[in-house]
Amino acid sequence: MTTTSSITTATEAASAEGRVLHAKQDPAYKATKAPVEGKVYFSYADIHDTVSKMVPQILEFNPSVIIAIGGGGFIPARMLRTELQIPILAVSLELYDDSTNTARSTVKKIQWFDEHSEVGSKVRDRKVLIVDEVDDSRTTLQYCVEEVLQTNAPSEVAVAVVHNKLKPKKGRLPEGVVYMAGANVADHWNCYPWDAAAYGNTIFEHEALAAKCTTTAEIEDGGGSNNENTTP
C-alpha cells in the first residue's frame, strides 16, 4: 500500500525535475474529462466523490483543524468536515484577477484567521490540513503554507487538493509538508459548480455540461485508461 509520505516524496521529486507523476486511479473511480469549448466542467457529484476518497489518507495524518483557502477551498473543506468532524478556519488569498481571468504577479492576502479565537487556537503546535480545489501553479499553496508556518507555528502541515493539474509547478512546498491530491487532471481550464454563474450558467446548465465532458471523454478515450505515466 502506498503511504501518504511516499506520495509526498514522489510528487515533490517529480515536480523538482519539471514533471509530475500520474497517480494510478481505481478504474471505477477515474472519470476522464474532455473539454467543451476549451473548458472542463466538474459536477458536485464529481467533487464530492473525489473528496470522500481522500478521507482515509487524511485520517492517517489526523489533523486538528482544516484551513480552507477561499474561495475554491470552502466547499471541499465543508465536505471534509462532515467526515472528519473537525472545525474549519477560512483564509482568503487571491492569485487570479476575476475581472481579467489572468494570474497576478504575486499572491494577495485578503483575509486571515484570528489565532486567539476558539478555533484559531487549534493551529499552534497542532496538525493542520490546508484545503484548496486545485493545485495549478502551486504558487497559492506555497504562499499559504509558508504563511501558516511563519505566523501560526503548527506542529505539522498537510495539503489536500481536489485536483492536481499535470503541469510543471512554479511554487514549491516546504520540506516535510504532506501533499494529497484527490485526482490528477489534464492542464485545461477547470469550471467548478460553485462558479457556474461566473460562466453565465445556471447550476442545471453547469451540471449538464459536466455530464457532456464525461460522455465526450468516454467516446474519445474508449472508456478511459488506467496506465501510470509521466509527463514532461
Residue 4, pLDDT above cutoff 50: no
Q: Among 14-23, 163-172, 175-184, which is the least confidently predicted range?
A: 14-23
pTM over 0.85: no
Whole-number Å distance between alpha carbons of 169 and 28 = 29
What mean pLDDT is predicted for residues 210-214? 93
Instruction: Encode pLDDT of 79-134 as tens digits.
Output: 999 999 999 999 988 766 555 555 655 777 778 888 888 898 889 999 999 999 99
Q: Cα 146 from chain centroid?
A: 17
| CB-based contacts of 116, cutoff 8 Å, min separation 6 | none
Query: Alpha-carbon Rg of the chain, whole angstroms?
Result: 17
The overall average pLDDT reported for the chain is 81
Give catalytic status of residue 98 as yes or no: no
What mean pLDDT is predicted for residues 200-228? 74
Q: Of 79-88, 94-103, 139-148, 208-217, give the range with the top mean pLDDT.
A: 79-88
Whole-number Å distance between alpha carbons of 119 and 137 = 30
**pLDDT number for residue 105:** 58
Q: Which of 142, 134, 139, 136 is nearest to 162 (CA)?
A: 134
Of 97, 136, 195, 221, which is the active-site residue?
136
**pLDDT number for residue 191:** 97
